[in-house]
Structure formats: structure tokens, C-alpha cells
A and B are shown apart, each in its own frame.
Chain A
Amino acid sequence: MNRPIVLAASGLTKDFPGVRALDGVSFEVRQGEVHALAGANGAGKSTLMRILSGAERPDAGEILMHGRPVRFRSPHDALRAGVAMMHQELQPFPAMSVAENIAMGREPARGPLGWLDKAAMRRQARDLLKRLEAGIEPDRIMGTLTAAEMQTVEIAKALAWDSRVLIMDEPTSAISSREAEALFRIIGELAGRGVAVVYISHKMDEIFRLAARITVLRDGRRVATRPAAELNPESLIALMVGRELSAPQAGGQPPTGELALEVRELRQAGAFEGVSFSIRRGEILGMAGLMGAGRTAVGCALAGIEPASAGEIRVSGSPVRIRNPRDAIACGIAWVSEDRKGFGIVPRLGVKENITLASLRRFCYGPVIRRREEEQAAAAQAQALSIKTAGLDRPVQTLSGGNQQKVVLARGLLAEPQILILDEPTRGIDVAAKAEIHGLIRRLAGGGRAVLLISSETEELLALSHRILVMRQGRISGELEAQGAAAAQILRLAMPD
């Protein structure tokens, strides 16, 4: 079948200070096609999509829409031309309602003055959200939604524009599998109606399930465009990385060291209750569950961000009180959040300063910072995690999303914690780096640390954890030995009855 090409780009080049993000890239997508875009972190996927959706302008090259050259001066231009983009980094209006966010830019209005038709906005929002099977009320204030709920709303927003080309950048990174299923169904519908979908993802199963063709970018260049049927996960990874990668090891023997962390009857009003578990030294305890089950809240409670209202916590046998992050750090607990923009990076400080922020005291002589030692420690961490940056002094906001996440992880690790709480540590990180981080997590556990691994990726949990706890609606619904467990069991424990 040779369906007409809807959107085509040729020779796109884009430079940022210190790095060439795209180098002569050509790309095209056909009507009704789901075209996956794959590549490692920093390969240029996001940049390419930002250019195609009007958020950036290329330094060279041209874009053709339905065969006619176009120049997008803004995302609004692109939206009106029929290209909609759903971003990886969410950009909502937190003070406005869900309905207002969805309608942004094309609010239904009546009369010459533009009187807003709020009822129509609400109706449209409700319809779109229902199609996505999301239980979100259109009148809720955007800022009160969780990251996952916000992403669902973003999808609704992109759908609202009724575009010819829909670009989705990691759309399932923060939503539950049930919502992801709904999304896939919708993508199928849209493709059936002739909409071209460009799908950027790190998840192999999704790529191969949805895509008709796959384009691979590496280091800013287009390496291949093939029909999905001609590829499999290994060959795809090989194209992305440029070399073969060994498969991740399964979790080893259950450790029998002493108890590093014990939690009893932990409770936080409205988030979770009756949470009890323990982690031994050298053990990786996975935590599974649907979005909103309370896993992040438990992590935050242990990290001191939002202390628990009741319950007992013991570190290495001694009871402790964690009322704020300093208490947690003092107990040797490090926390790496899923929300790197919120709790993670200080955007304008350098990479080095971000990495050392939680353990700055170590590099000080009294109140004075010892620059050289700080530099060395930060450099060591950056290398260990393969953080890609033009320099340790560059502001961390210049790094790609995945590398920013690595910086947050480095910060947590530099504090040399005894207990590590990782909340979605590899979200948005490419396959090669993910394998490195998995290896690192295993090494940390092997070195005697206790790890609480909160993740929505069942393969990750199964591959790394010794045991897996499943949370459901604020309580622990079950515990499994990872060896021999299956994804289906986890899902069953996670789903509400």
C-alpha cells in the first residue's frame, strides 16, 4: 500500500550551544500510519519532533505538508496546519481547570466579543476523557492532578485539535497499563481514520505492537527506516546503540543480611494506611501498583517530604522519626523522585552543583566549599552514570531529560545512603543507560545497601527485585518472591476488585 505522505522533512539540521542535535535528518510519515521513532537519550528524537510541531525552528532543511512547503513560526501555526504534539515534559496551566487546559487555544466562544462557552468546553472535555477511560472530572484544577493524570489530559488535548498528524512523545511513561490500553485503542482508531501518528517511545513492546514502520535516530542522524515486521527488539536496540547489548540478569539469591529498614503500620491520611514491610541489607524490594495506589506517597513519607501521620520506622533496628528531608538524609535514606522537574534539579545551577547538593557538607572545610574535591566527586559520579554533558559547569537545564534524571540519581547516590528509595528511576531513560543503571542498582545492593524500587515497569521489577510488594488503593495487597513470579500475578494484585 502506498498511502500518500502527509508530513515530510528533509535535511533538517539544528544546533544548540555546544552540540549538534540534528544533522541532515529526513523523515516522512504517511496517512493512517503509526510510525515509531526510536533512539537513545540525546539521539535527537525530541528535537526532531519539536521542529515538526513548530516549537523550534530548524537551522537548515525544509518541511512539506501534503507536498507543500510550510514554515511553522509557532506551535499554534503547526496546530492550525494539522500537526499536534503531545510533549514528554508536561506543560499544563496549573491554576486552570482540566476543561480549560484541554480547550486552550481553541476555546468555544460565541459572538463577536468571544464570550466563552464554558458548558461546551466542559462537555467536550468530558467526551474526550471518557473515550480515554480516564476518571477525571473536567472541573478539577490542573495543578491538583498527579503526573499521570496530567498526561492523560495532555492526550485529550492533542485529540481535541482533530489533527492530521499526531506526535506523541513517551505518552505512556506516567500512566497505568489500563489507561495505556485505552490509548492504544484510540491510536488504532485514529490511524483507521487516516490520522498519521508518530510515536516516540523506549518501550519495545509498545513499539512493536503499534508501529507499521520504525525510524531510528542515533547521535542526531537517521540511521534506518524499516517496516516493523523486519525488526525485532534485539536488532532495534542494536541499531539504536550501534552494538549488541547483553540481556539483563535476573535477580539473584534472596539476601539474608540484617534488617536495614522496618516499617510498621505506616499511615498518611488520604494516601495510605497499614503499610508494613521490611528490607534487609543487600536486598532490592520492588513496589508495584497502579497509578495512585500510594507507592510514591510511601516513598515520600520515608524521605521526609510528606511525613507519615502515624506508624513506626526503624533504621538498622533503631526507631527514628522522619519529619523532614534532613531527618531522612541523616538516617542514611536517599530518595530519587520520579518528578525531576519538581523535586529533582535546580535548573540554573551547574551539573556539578546539582550532584553535590545533598552532600555538600562532605566537601566543606567548615563553611567553605573545597572546590577541587567537589569537582572530583561530581566527575566520578557523572562518569559512573554516563551523564552526557558539554561540561560539569553547564547549567543542568541544558541537559536532555534522561540525563537530568541521571543527575538526580547521582545526587542521591553521592550521599552514600544505606537505604535507597528509587521512584521510577529509569523513566525516560534510553535502553543502554537503563541497563547501566540496573547494573548499578544491583551493585549497590550487592554492596550492602537496601533498595526500595518503585516502578511501573513490570519487567524492571521482575528483573531486579528479590521480592515485590504490590500496593492497591493505599494498602499493601500482596507480596511475591520475584523469582518465578509473573507479570499477570502482579497485575491481579494491583487491580481493584
Chain B
Amino acid sequence: MAFPSSPRWTGQAGLILALVALGGALSLATPNFLTVPNLINLVRQISINGILAVGVTLVLLTGGVDLSLGSLVALSGVAAAHLAQAPGAVAFPALLGMATGAACGALSGLVVTRGGVAPFVVTLGMMTVARGLALVLSGGRPVSNLNPQFTRLGGGDVAGIPLPVLVLAAVAVIAHVFLRHLRFGRYIYAVGGNEKAARASGVDVHGVKLFAYTLCGALAGLAGVVLAARITTGQPNAGVGYELDAIAAAVIGGASLAGGAGGIGGTVLGALLMGVINNGLDLLNVSSYYQQIVKGLIIVGAVWLDRGKEK
């Protein structure tokens, strides 16, 4: 498991091994896997899940969970899309999308901390409320006609690297530095590791949790903006089930559902692993029924390998 001061890669050795093994197997099975265009596709395809996974890692670290991510993606996508219909608007829609997500995250965080309600229940409620809001805001129909500068955020690239990937990279680096080198990041680990001990050490437990939920919501908002740009519409029924993929990526990467363990590096690796599986199975034209089964087995296998090396 990744705690702040551990040597960087030993905690994820099993995961890296699984990734390399899987990649190796796929490159032997099909010549199309290990090509630059495909690898670029791959990282672009995991960008949105990656951003969500980074956000949910923060919440998982505090010992909580956020099931509303998919709905937040839809809601912020719809909100951003409304503004993105105006020609040339990029920053405002993006900021509105993130703010929407942050507001919902903050609300969830408030109910969890001040209200003392279990995060599972609170975010489950937010999941349905946010989805309803998305439908209301959009009238049930996708919001289209987005200006090309905005959609470039989802479909464009810089020096061959897709923009969503750059967004993910920036988010991951910032989050990683935050957790490891900033005092507040340390407090997040402390609150998740032993809330009573953190409180006794003078940590503002409620403040830390609230921050984690808000930031997670903001990142979900960002993911929603990127998704809306990519599919060139704000879709009220986008993102269904995205929260489970995000949590899966984080948990594969070493985050504990009990809190106090996990890290951004592991989460990104987890998202990569899931992306490789999806990409590989599509390349091999495996029927979607079998895809589900294989995906589940590989994920459990990767985690088993990783945890086994811990002992």
C-alpha cells in the first residue's frame, strides 16, 4: 500500500508486473496493440476515468466514498454545454462545470461531516439528485451545438498528445504533490488512518473531509467538461456507472476502502490497467459478453497479485 514516505515503486510492483505482462500478451496476440496511434488512443480513452479516479482517491483516503461521480459528470457536462453554445467560450463553461461539481461535492461533504450520515448513503442520494438536476437542466435532450474551441478540449491535441491526456497528467501531478508534500495532504492520510488520533493531534477532521469531497466533486466536474467536449454534447444521461470504474481503478491501485492507504501513482496505474483490458479486448474483437467476464477476472487477479506481494 502506498503511504507517503514509502519508496516510490515497491508498493505498486505487483501492479506494474501485471500491466507489463498484460501488455506483453496483447502485443503478441495482435500487432495493432503496440503501435503509437493505439497507445495514444488508449491513454485518451482512460483520461476521463483517470480524472475521476484521482478525485475519488482523495475521498477514499479519508475513509469515505463517493457514488455520485457519474451523475456529477452528466450535470456538469450539461451545465458547461449550455455556456459552450456561445461562440468562443471555453474558460467559462469549463469553470462552470467544475464549480457545479465542486458545489455538489461540498454539499455531500457537509452532510457527511456535520450531519454525520454515512458517505455511502449521502453520495447515493446525491447520485440521484444530480441526475435529476441534469435532466431538468437539459429538458431530457442532449445540449448540442457547442463551439469548436470548446470541443477541441476533448478532441484536440498538442504536439500529438491528446488534450484530455494532458489534463489528466496535470491533475495527477498536482494531486500527487499535494498528498505528499503539503501539510493538508498529510492530514488526509491521518484522518483516514485513524480519525480519533488525528483529532487528538489537533487536525480539523471535518475540514479535511469537506475539502476532500469538494475537490473530488470539482474533478468530477472537470471530467464532465472534458466528456462533453469529447462527445460534442452535454448529455443528461452520460456517465452512468462511471463512479464504479473510478473506484475500481483506485482500489486496484492500492487505495483501501477503509481509508488511510493509497496514492495517485497507484490510481493512475489502476486506470491504465483497466484501459489496457478494454482496449485489448476490443482489438481482439472479443464479444462484449465475454469482455465483462474477462475484465472482472483480470481485475481481481491484478489486485491479488499486488496484495500478495505486500505480505
Q: Hey, which bits of chain A sit against chain B, CB under 8 A?
A: 303, 305, 324-326, 328-330, 335, 337, 342-350, 352-353, 357-358, 360-361, 364, 367-369, 371, 392-393, 395, 411
Contacts and interface: CB of A to CB of B under 8 A. Distances in A.
Given A369-B186, A393-B5, A395-B3, A346 B197 contact: yes
Given A325-B201, A329-B202, A358-B201, A345 B194 contact: yes
Interface string B249-269: 000000000001100000000
A329 B3 CA distance: 26
A367 B201 contact: no
A348 B193 contact: yes
Interface stretch (B26-34, B118-126, B143-151, B176-184): B176-184
Contact of B182 (A343, A367, A392): A367
Contacts of A337: 200
Interface in B166-208: 181-184, 186-187, 189-190, 193-194, 196-204
A368 B204 CA distance: 17
Contacts of A347: 193-194, 260
B155 interface: no
B35 interface: no
B181 A343 contact: no
B4 interface: yes
**Which 10 residue pairs are nearest across A and B when measured between Cβ atoms?**
A346-B193, A358-B201, A329-B202, A346-B194, A393-B5, A357-B201, A326-B202, A343-B200, A350-B5, A367-B182
Contacts, number: 90
Interface of B: 1, 3-7, 181-184, 186-187, 189-190, 193-194, 196-204, 260-261
Contacts of B186: 353, 357, 360, 369
A324 B186 CA distance: 20
Nearest to B178: A367
Contact of B190 (A305, A349, A368, A392): A349
A195 to B, nearest CB: 35
A348 to B, nearest CB: 5
Contacts of B183: 360-361, 364, 367-369
Contacts of A350: 3-6
A351 to B, nearest CB: 9
Nearest to A330: B202
Contacts of B201: 325, 329, 357-358, 411
Contacts of A345: 194, 197
B198 to A, nearest CB: 7
Contacts of B204: 326
16 contacts: A303-B200, A305-B200, A326-B204, A328-B202, A335-B200, A337-B200, A346-B198, A347-B260, A348-B3, A349-B189, A350-B3, A350-B5, A358-B201, A369-B182, A369-B186, A395-B3
Given A348-B261, A349-B189, A367-B182, A325 B3 contact: no
A360 B181 CA distance: 12
Contact of B198 (A328, A329, A357, A364): A357
Nearest to B199: A325
Given A335-B200, A360-B186, 20 more contacts: A324-B199, A343-B197, A344-B194, A345-B194, A346-B197, A347-B193, A349-B189, A349-B193, A350-B6, A352-B5, A353-B186, A353-B189, A357-B186, A357-B190, A357-B197, A357-B201, A360-B187, A369-B181, A369-B183, A393-B5
B278 to A, nearest CB: 31
A335 B200 CA distance: 8
Given A305-B199, A325-B200, A349 B3 contact: yes
Contacts of B6: 350, 393
B306 to A, nearest CB: 16
B62 to A, nearest CB: 12
Q: Which of B6, B186, B189 has the most CB of A within 10 A?
A: B186
Q: Which of B1, B189, B204 has the most CB of A within 10 A?
A: B189
A329 B199 CA distance: 11
A379 to B, nearest CB: 13
Nearest to B200: A343
Contacts of B190: 346, 349, 353, 357
Contacts of A393: 5-7
Contacts of B200: 303, 305, 325, 335, 337, 343-344, 358
Given A305-B200, A325-B200, A357-B203, A368 B193 contact: no
Contacts of B196: 342-343
Nearest to A327: B202
B5 A353 contact: yes
